[in-house]
Structure 1
Amino acid sequence: MKTGFKFSNLCGTVYTAGNLIFTPDGNSILSPVGNRVSLFDLVNNKSLTLPVEMRKDIKLMALSPNATLLVTIDKDGRALLINLPRRVLIAHFNFKAPVKAIEFSPDGKWIAASHEKYVEIWKAPGFNREFAPFVLHKTIGGHYDDILNISWSPDSKYFLTSSSDMTARLYRMDAPKDYVPQTLAGHRNSVLGAWFSDDMKSIYTISKDGALFNWQYQTKAALLGDSDEEDEMDVDSEEKRMDQKRWRVAGKHFLNQNGVKVKSCAFFAPSNLLVVGLSNGVFGLYEVPSFINIHTLSISQHNIDTVAINRTGEWLAFGSSTMGQLLVWEWQSESYVLKQQGHYYNMTSLSYSGDGQTLATGGEDGKVKVWNTTSGFCFVTFSDHKSNVMAVEFAKQGKVLFSASLDGTVRAFDLVRYRNFRTFTSPNPVQFSSLVVDPSGEVVCAGTTDTFEIYVWSVQTGKLLDILAGHTGPISSLTFSPVGMILVSGSWDYTARSWDIFGRSKQVETFQHQNEVLAVAFRPDGREIAASTLDGQIAFWDVENGKQVGSIEGRKDISGGRKVNDRTAADNAASGKCFNSLCYTADGSSILGGGNSKYICIYDIDTKVLVKKFQISNNLSLDGTQEQLNSKYMTEFGSKELMDVEDSSDVEDRLDHTLPGTQSGDLSVRRTRPEARSMAVRFSPTGRSWAAATTDGLLIYSLDDTILFDPFDLEIDITPETVMEALEEKEYLRSLCMAFRLNEKSILHKVFEAIPPGSIDIVARTISEKYLDKLLQFIGVHMEHSPHIEFHLMWVVSVMTAHGRYLKEHRGEFQSVFRTLHKSINRVRDDISNLCDTNTYTLKYLLNQQNITARNNSINH
């Protein structure tokens, strides 16, 4: 079995904290997800996560104007320099202080970063070999408190800073030694943003209390209307009055919302648009300098932590760290371009569909989410459960999804109409902790935590068929035999039991263990089961003979990571380390296990040897990722890392607005850091990838199989002449592939139109899968303008017939192509339908005219 699995994507979490950045083309958005960065392609409906991790959660990002260099900074001030197109880490850097603002200059030569109350100007890294990627140019002071925002002028000669000291300051890059920066004072709260207008004749500042100031570079006389006198002054008089010419307030505007503070803001200079995100979850779009409200929308009930505007000013992006929500809103059409949200709390379970293209997750927030593994997006969310969802399972070739919850219900969801079509309940209120569906999808079973029973229902009728009793502890896991009708259950009563639920004898086989059984899994051939126990062991049992055939001691393998409150080292803290989830690989030769640890292990079953160990996170913001703790953070009162050092100096940030009785758990317990662990692991039925529901989100690891070999790639001299020569020699497949590689529309159009209809089928069957995307995209676009309707339809039918299975397996990658084809075929159908209707009406008219003429002739005669 291949074990070269590499990190592929991160789903389930779309935004945690920090700022959002649109790429310069405006089609993609960068979002910080824990200590990683996710890139969402809003046009092609895809997402990917960069294979680069930081030490701690990302708090700030900056992108160069040409979208080649990405700087990410964590909350300690440590930074990474990343080549975004290549997705490669270039360098590490430490600013040695928390950074709250960083910005590239529009010409890409400078980087301005805040260093508490100072501004540091760095030379932007180049593409030449350098000793140090960051070179400090100069440090500028002037503020009395932390700098919150930095913005550059369009010509990169000036930049504005806004600070918590309630002022904004204007600096020059080529300032002389005696230069004094202009101070823009007058706000009564922290200034969150300051920007230049597009013509650099105005400056706009906004503070936390919702006050917007418009500043003009004028004299007192100009503000009073006496500007003609100043225009006629000579040079001497101008120098005399130079002390009176400065940036002055030309207008003040206020939001006037009681108890609501501005949390984020962004300015789009070409259209003079200002976007303001408020603490009550409402955002407003305003036109400056008139401050006219263009649009207002409530998107949540929590703070809007960040706002971004794309290059054209059409799309607005919002991020809420409390909800873990990412929204992209098109304000002109008032529609969502992207609306994604992960689970509010931890994920508890996951399941793969039969084709491996879809993943379902259940969470502690009572929601069931379904994800596309190719695009990385959640396309449906079910919120029917009222408590934790403990298990999810697919059935009926991925068309039906089952979920079990602690609210005492098992629900079946239709993934075609997206509705909850059946709910299974028990005669007495119970809490369901495990779930399994038989291979035919006709029977669903769920185990309980309080009555220690297994309930069996019929999916067709929804009736309770049987109640299996015998366990004396909570049911932790259930699994069905892939080939037979045997059900195996694991329980905290130190046993795993096999049940013949369809047989008349109701035969029960008991597999005794030395500790609580936490997970059970069937081998794909149905002859062996694996059971993990609380002492970190995995036991293998022969189902037919009821004998144990082997075991794996995995406690030392999965143990690792020391928590902040641990009194012992990581090597001696192996107690409690065990596998909470097990899954066989697709071929049954290995087994995958994960639990309350930062590691996920793969074992070879024949040799009982650890094959590979994956570390799910290197994020030091999580508990349990370090092997050794730093003694300098330990005090007599505990660890400094547990202290809340976030910026919550404002009164409204410290107030608790929740209603009494709405929180669960012990309210006296101190808030602790989340722990790095995996709640569930599952292998894809295709055997090419596996997924883990972790604290960071839904991690997907896959084999690198994206490279397709094409023999035409070996050609060196591909020119328009060689393409036309191949076409004249009637080598249609070769000429078409060469035209795709040349990528010139005129040449491609000639080659495509020159292929005779009789050769379409053989060319479609023999064309490489590498060119299917380009071919179908070309057909979809070309069909709208070409009169050869049947010719294009023959191409579509031939390609779909020859490569239908491949297209179905990779349908997530071809979604945009399918949409283009569907749109083109519908347009052609509508045109033909309209033409037929017009011809029909024309013929009827002519026939009626003929009848009228004949009738008139008969009357005249």
Structure 2
Amino acid sequence: MLKVWEPESIESTRGEYGIISGRLNDIAWDGESQRVIAVGDGREQFGRCITADSGNSVGEIIGHSKSVNAVAMKPQRPFRAATVGDDGNMVFYHGAPYKFNNKSAQHTGFVLGAAYSPDGSSLVTVGADKRIQLYDGKTGEPTKEIGQGEHSGSIFAVSWSPDGKKFVTASADQTVKLWDVDAGTVVQTWKFGEHVSVGDQQVGVVFVPGRSDGLIISLSLAGNLAYLTEGKPELARVVYGHGKSITALSTGSDGKGADLWSGSFDGRVCHWDVNSGIATVVDGQAHTNQVSQFATADGKVLSAGWDDTLRIVDESAKTFLGTSIKLQAQPKGVSAANGLVYVATYSGVSVYSGEKLVSEQSFDFTPGAIAASGSFVAIGANENSVRIYNASSNGKLEEVKSLSNPTGTISALAFSKDGSHLAAGNSVGKIYVYSAGSWELVADRWSAHTARVTSIAWDDTGAYAANAHKDGVNGVAWVEGGRVASAGGDANVKIWKVQNLP
């Protein structure tokens, strides 16, 4: 699906168009901002040229036998376009309407990137064969190859400078290179990572238009955006974040809500400054699988992951501490109270003091969620109940109450900040609230969802609870200013302003 957005009003789209029956890899606009070519890996065709306002076809994308990776459109009349793909071809089109003109097979492998110079006089393509090939922008005829032997890995992307005298390339060899087009030589090289690292491969690059400082932004396979400036070897800035679904979210241990911690499907853990929106990737040995849940206490973040480990993060240093703690089974949740850390797994509950295991307990049910406050530990059971335990100073759990939940399996638990209430969310979207101590049911009408509740967070007053459900949102937290943070399958952390609460 191709969506065309109004830049002044991003809440609505100008149009949504089905292009091909498969993944789209690239899009390009013509010089009049009226036509769009979108290409990718379709079953019946590899791309289409349409009008942006109506989606009507204004040409056909033919000439490729395999997936098309990139498209470039000449900015001025007479209009031209070029597509490149896995078949090793550069296909050239005349327009509009855009029709096949010729194709060139200068590359010997996948062709991964293409770009027109700002004046339309030159076209450049790059590929897995490390080749940089230039063409006449009007005829599509090859003119020269430059940079032989400079890149040692596949070249994924290329972008021209606004003056058309230089372009930059991004490569799997973990470098971005700036080129003088006329001389065919490298002007500057930026190297990412001291050692061989797949995550440091540079897979995208762009000269940012409309700027006088010549800013270049490159994208790594790990999802990091690096800001580069010609003549300066150091990076001006690196923007971090998640490239995979965010599966865990929590505020910092100080309770102020100025910091957020997020974990994703690939094991990455990030710290976020709520006010600036800037993220920092936690340094050290990260999880090798999905982050399941966080607990925070005493300047530490306790992170449980599906690599069956519990890892501890120093909040101030933003670094993993020591070695990981191996768990008995895959974790279902983690919580902390009174200096103890409780980890619920498929086989039971393990209790830790620091990195030391102090207690293990198995049950006649499978835990599905866990929450702790003071000496109370609540565990969601797979037979539609919440089991309440009293924890001793050495982590031994003694059951004091069983709370039945007739409508579904417990999937999320959370105590209010003052520990006076417990919220329990279940697999069918219902949330029940109990009074801690008496364990009487005080609310059972919270049913905004119809799917499994994945996360519950109380505000500072204990009057309101925000919750997330399985339809794309995996974590929720209250942050400073009475706002709510959410995170989910789109790999984004979003901050919401809450208004008109009763």
Residue 80 of structure 1: aligned partner: 4
Residue 510 of structure 1: aligned partner: 401
Helix, strand or coil at the partner of 1:274: strand
2:499 matches 1:696 = no
Q: Is the 8 A contact 1:367 1:382 kept in 2?
A: no
Q: How does 1:550-589 map to 2 (within 5 A)?
A: 550-552=443-445, 554=447, 557-559=448-450, 577-589=451-463
2:208 matches 1:310 = yes
Distance in 2 between residues matched to 1:142 and 1:680, nearest whole Å: 42
Residue 297 of structure 1: aligned partner: 191
Distance in 2 between residues matched to 1:142 and 1:409, nearest whole Å: 50
Q: Is the 8 A contact 1:167 1:191 kept in 2?
A: no
- The residue type equivalent to 1:369 in the other structure is C
Of 2, 11, 14, 1:91 maps to 14
Q: Is the 8 A contact 1:433 1:446 kept in 2?
A: no
Distance in 1 between residues matched to 2:3 and 2:140, nearest whole Å: 35
Q: Is the 8 A contact 1:352 1:683 kept in 2?
A: yes
Q: How does 1:162-181 map to 2 (within 5 A)?
A: 162-164=82-84, 166-167=89-90, 169=92
Are residues 170 and 158 of structure 1, via their aligned partners in 2, closer, same or farther at CA, if it must alter by over 3 Å? farther
- The residue type equivalent to 1:265 in the other structure is V
- 1:194 to partner: Cα distance: 5.2
1:67-121 per-residue CA deviation (whole Å, 9 max, x = no partner) reads xxxxxxxxx3x4323134x54536225475588542252xx56545468799968
Distance in 2 between residues matched to 1:704 and 1:517, nearest whole Å: 27
Helix, strand or coil at the partner of 1:453: strand
- The residue type equivalent to 1:264 in the other structure is A
- 1:309 to partner: Cα distance: 0.8
Residue 740 of structure 1: aligned partner: none
1:439-484 per-residue CA deviation (whole Å, 9 max, x = no partner) reads xxx6032224254134141x5xx655x4263633344333333xx5
- 1:249 to partner: Cα distance: 5.5
Distance in 2 between residues matched to 1:168 and 1:266, nearest whole Å: 19
- 1:288 to partner: Cα distance: 1.3
Distance in 1 between residues matched to 2:216 and 2:203, nearest whole Å: 13
Distance in 2 between residues matched to 1:449 and 1:79, nearest whole Å: 43
Distance in 2 between residues matched to 1:425 and 1:112, nearest whole Å: 52
The alignment's C-alpha RMSD in Å is 4.5
Residue 402 of structure 1: aligned partner: 302
1:506-564 per-residue CA deviation (whole Å, 9 max, x = no partner) reads 8641224256433222234433322234465433333322444453484xx533xxxxx
Are residues 334 and 541 of structure 1, via their aligned partners in 2, closer, same or farther at CA, if it must alter by over 3 Å? same
Q: How does 1:706-785 map to 2 (within 5 A)?
A: none
Q: Is the 8 A contact 2:413 2:425 kept in 1?
A: yes
Residue 149 of structure 1: aligned partner: 71
Helix, strand or coil at the partner of 2:390: strand
Q: How does 1:83-162 map to 2 (within 5 A)?
A: 83-84=7-8, 86-89=9-12, 91-92=14-15, 94=17, 100-105=26-31, 111=35, 113=37, 133=53, 139=58, 144-145=63-64, 148-152=70-74, 156-162=76-82
Distance in 2 between residues matched to 1:110 and 1:505, nearest whole Å: 69
2:390 matches 1:499 = yes
1:488-510 per-residue CA deviation (whole Å, 9 max, x = no partner) reads 33344644213143599986412
2:265 matches 1:371 = no
2:261 matches 1:360 = yes
- The residue type equivalent to 2:452 in the other structure is C
Of 305, 329, 336, 1:437 maps to 336
TM-score w.r.t. the length of structure 1 is 0.46
- 1:359 to partner: Cα distance: 0.7
- The residue type equivalent to 2:474 in the other structure is M
Are residues 545 and 101 of structure 1, via their aligned partners in 2, closer, same or farther at CA, if it must alter by over 3 Å? closer
- The residue type equivalent to 2:339 in the other structure is V
1:342-394 per-residue CA deviation (whole Å, 9 max, x = no partner) reads 44544332111322221101234333211122332212424434444332233
Helix, strand or coil at the partner of 1:558: coil
Q: How does 1:825-840 map to 2 (within 5 A)?
A: none
Residue 42 of structure 2: aligned partner: none
- 1:162 to partner: Cα distance: 1.5
Of 114, 120, 134, 1:193 maps to 114
Residue 488 of structure 1: aligned partner: 378
- 1:206 to partner: Cα distance: 2.5
More helix by share: 1
- 1:310 to partner: Cα distance: 2.0
- 1:318 to partner: Cα distance: 2.7
1:559-591 per-residue CA deviation (whole Å, 9 max, x = no partner) reads 3xxxxxxxxxxxxxxxxx432322334433343
Q: Is the 8 A contact 2:151 2:171 kept in 1?
A: no
Are residues 490 and 697 of structure 1, via their aligned partners in 2, closer, same or farther at CA, if it must alter by over 3 Å? same
Residue 124 of structure 2: aligned partner: 205
1:3-24 per-residue CA deviation (whole Å, 9 max, x = no partner) reads xxxxxxxxxxxxxxxxxxxxxx
Q: How does 1:245-264 map to 2 (within 5 A)?
A: 251-253=144-146, 255=148, 261-264=154-157
1:791-839 per-residue CA deviation (whole Å, 9 max, x = no partner) reads xxxxxxxxxxxxxxxxxxxxxxxxxxxxxxxxxxxxxxxxxxxxxxxxx
Residue 521 of structure 1: aligned partner: 414
Are residues 495 and 356 of structure 1, via their aligned partners in 2, closer, same or farther at CA, if it must alter by over 3 Å? closer
Q: Is the 8 A contact 2:425 2:453 kept in 1?
A: yes
- The residue type equivalent to 1:682 in the other structure is A
Distance in 2 between residues matched to 1:355 and 1:114, nearest whole Å: 46
Residue 438 of structure 2: aligned partner: 545
- The residue type equivalent to 1:315 in the other structure is L
Are residues 216 and 456 of structure 1, via their aligned partners in 2, closer, same or farther at CA, if it must alter by over 3 Å? closer
Distance in 1 between residues matched to 2:445 and 2:72, nearest whole Å: 57
Distance in 2 between residues matched to 1:325 and 1:472, nearest whole Å: 45
- The residue type equivalent to 1:152 in the other structure is K
Distance in 1 between residues matched to 2:311 and 2:395, nearest whole Å: 28
More strand by share: 2
What 5-or-longer segments of structure 1 have no aligned partner?
Answer: 1-75, 125-132, 219-245, 560-576, 599-676, 706-861
- The residue type equivalent to 1:696 in the other structure is D
2:408 matches 1:532 = no
Helix, strand or coil at the partner of 1:473: coil
- The residue type equivalent to 2:204 in the other structure is T
2:404 matches 1:478 = no
Residue 348 of structure 1: aligned partner: 247
Are residues 489 and 262 of structure 1, via their aligned partners in 2, closer, same or farther at CA, if it must alter by over 3 Å? same
Distance in 2 between residues matched to 1:309 and 1:553, nearest whole Å: 50
1:387-431 per-residue CA deviation (whole Å, 9 max, x = no partner) reads 4433223334xx4323234556544433323334566858x8565
1:226-264 per-residue CA deviation (whole Å, 9 max, x = no partner) reads xxxxxxxxxxxxxxxxxxxx8876533364599954432
Distance in 1 between residues matched to 2:348 and 2:100, nearest whole Å: 74
1:15-61 per-residue CA deviation (whole Å, 9 max, x = no partner) reads xxxxxxxxxxxxxxxxxxxxxxxxxxxxxxxxxxxxxxxxxxxxxxx
Query: Percent identity of the aligned residues?
Result: 13
Are residues 475 and 384 of structure 1, via their aligned partners in 2, closer, same or farther at CA, if it must alter by over 3 Å? farther
- The residue type equivalent to 1:193 in the other structure is A
Q: Is the 8 A contact 1:684 1:690 kept in 2?
A: yes
Distance in 2 between residues matched to 1:531 and 1:205, nearest whole Å: 58
Q: Is the 8 A contact 2:228 2:235 kept in 1?
A: yes
- The residue type equivalent to 2:488 in the other structure is T
Q: How does 1:631-642 map to 2 (within 5 A)?
A: none
Distance in 2 between residues matched to 1:319 and 1:356, nearest whole Å: 30
Distance in 1 between residues matched to 2:159 and 2:304, nearest whole Å: 43
Q: Is the 8 A contact 1:191 1:205 kept in 2?
A: no
- 1:339 to partner: Cα distance: 2.9
Are residues 548 and 309 of structure 1, via their aligned partners in 2, closer, same or farther at CA, if it must alter by over 3 Å? same
Distance in 2 between residues matched to 1:517 and 1:184, nearest whole Å: 60
Q: Is the 8 A contact 2:242 2:492 kept in 1?
A: no
Distance in 2 between residues matched to 1:80 and 1:213, nearest whole Å: 31
Residue 417 of structure 1: aligned partner: 317
Q: Is the 8 A contact 1:582 1:681 kept in 2?
A: yes
Are residues 590 and 183 of structure 1, via their aligned partners in 2, closer, same or farther at CA, if it must alter by over 3 Å? same
